[in-house]
Structure 1
Amino acid sequence: MNAIKWLTGAALLLGLSACASYYPIAVDVSPSAQVGGGVYRGQSVALGSQDARANDYVIQIEQAGKSPVVVGASNNLKVQLEQALAQGLSTQGAFVEQGANTRVQLELQEVLARVIRGHISYDVVQQLRMQLTLERDGRRITKQYRRSAQEEFPGRLHPELDKVKEALNKQLSLMVQDMLADRDVQNFINGN
């Protein structure tokens, strides 16, 4: 009798771990910004960032009757976004250097792609929320940025996380581009 209990328990554990292990524990998140130059004429900015998200995962897979499976970012998301923003500012003509009089602080508030299983497809619902705070000589502006998107992908078994990751990277890249194209941000950095 004990052998049957042991075998049943082992089979149950193996089945549960097989479902959870289908998904990776992390995906590579790498946003980028496609912007043109000529916005700044050598203005210097100091760039910093902080991660104020309630959760450190970026994908949450939801299936009826099962606990959600979460997947994190394999790289530091805060650093990736800061680097994309720095690259964009540099392309636009700014110098990103520590100690500059104009300070730009990026705060991550929400970055999540929820994968919701249907019968023959799954929906990917993305919610992004970030904040930029710019300071110089006692002046300060704060800008909020939000993006949400929903996409449906076919699939009867497991969602393809490569597609989910690509959709998330696209939205993150668009958000960085929103920040770089913001006239209030451009005017503040230019001293207007």
Structure 2
Amino acid sequence: MNAIKWFTLPLLLLGLAGCASYYPIAVDVSPSVEVGGGVYRGQAIALSSRDGRANDFIIQIEQQGKSPVVVGAANNLKVQLEQALAQGLSTQGAFIEQGAATRIDMELQEVLARVIRGHISYDVVQQLRLQLTLERGGRTLTKQYRRSAQEEFPGRLHPELDKVKEALNKQLSLMVQDMLADRDVQNFINGG
């Protein structure tokens, strides 16, 4: 009888510990871009970025009667977005180099996916906001980019964070594409 107690107690504790840490503390975020070339003719651009968000988490899971659970980005979100923008600008024909006369500063202002539990599903409400500031020869152009989306995923117990992450990656990728397709940005870089 004593042997059974010693065997079941660790299993019970292990089971309880597993419930407490169901969600990961962070997920990988990796926006990607698909753009065509021929927009720029070798213009040099200095690119920098900063994170101006009030919170460093990117997913907030809300369940009635419980404290929200937050999940961060496993990698540096600012760096991921800067790299995606740099890749897109390079594909379009620009050169990224420090000290270039044309400077672009990208500021993350909001990146959040709220996961709200319903009866048989979860709503994922995404809010994204970034700002680009372009400078050259005393001229400045500031552009705000916003994206919001809402998706519903089935699930009674816990939301599948892989689906939430994919939805967030999709919106971040679309936002970078919005910046790369912006005619005002293209004209400014081209000297127009």
TM-score of the alignment, normalized to the shorter chain, above 0.5: yes
SS in 2 for 1:149: strand
The answer to whether the aligner puts 1:161 opposite 2:161 as a matched pair is yes
CA shift for structure 1 position 18 = 4.1
- Residue 24 (structure 1) aligns with: 24
How do 1:120-131 residues align onto structure 2 when only pairs under 5 Å count?
Answer: 120-131=120-131
The residue identity in structure 1 corresponding to 2:167 is A
CA shift for structure 1 position 20 = 3.9
- Residue 41 (structure 1) aligns with: 41
TM-score, with length taken from structure 1: 0.91
TM-score, with length taken from structure 2: 0.91
**Aligned counterparts of 2:189 and 2:96: Cα–Cα separation in 1:** 12
SS in 2 for 1:40: coil
The answer to whether the aligner puts 1:143 opposite 2:149 as a matched pair is no
The residue identity in structure 2 corresponding to 1:33 is V
**Aligned counterparts of 2:157 and 2:127: Cα–Cα separation in 1:** 24
Greater displacement, 127-136 / 19-28 = 19-28
CA shift for structure 1 position 19 = 3.9
- Residue 71 (structure 2) aligns with: 71
**Aligned counterparts of 1:33 and 1:175: Cα–Cα separation in 2:** 10
- Residue 85 (structure 1) aligns with: 85
SS in 2 for 1:71: strand
SS in 1 for 2:126: strand
**Aligned counterparts of 2:179 and 2:126: Cα–Cα separation in 1:** 18
The residue identity in structure 2 corresponding to 1:184 is D
- Residue 99 (structure 2) aligns with: 99
The residue identity in structure 1 corresponding to 2:33 is A
**Aligned counterparts of 2:71 and 2:29: Cα–Cα separation in 1:** 11
Q: Contact conserved, 1:47 with 1:96, CA < 8 A, in 2? A: yes
- Residue 3 (structure 1) aligns with: none
- Residue 114 (structure 1) aligns with: 114
The residue identity in structure 1 corresponding to 2:139 is R
Gaps of 5+ in 1: 1-10
SS in 2 for 1:167: helix
Q: State how many pairs are aligned.
A: 180
The residue identity in structure 2 corresponding to 1:24 is P
**Aligned counterparts of 2:59 and 2:109: Cα–Cα separation in 1:** 15
- Residue 7 (structure 1) aligns with: none
Q: Contact conserved, 1:20 with 1:69, CA < 8 A, in 2? A: no
Q: List, as ranges, runs of 4+ consecutive aligned residues in structure 1 with deviation greater than 3 Å.
A: 17-20
Structure 1 residues 71-118: Cα deviation after superposition (integer angstroms, max 9, x where no partner): 000000000000000000000000001000000000000000000000
Gaps of 5+ in 2: 1-11
**Aligned counterparts of 1:177 and 1:64: Cα–Cα separation in 2:** 36
The residue identity in structure 2 corresponding to 1:188 is F
SS in 2 for 1:38: coil
Mark the CA change 1:57 to 1:20 in structure 2 (over 3 Å): closer, same or farther.
farther
SS in 1 for 2:100: coil
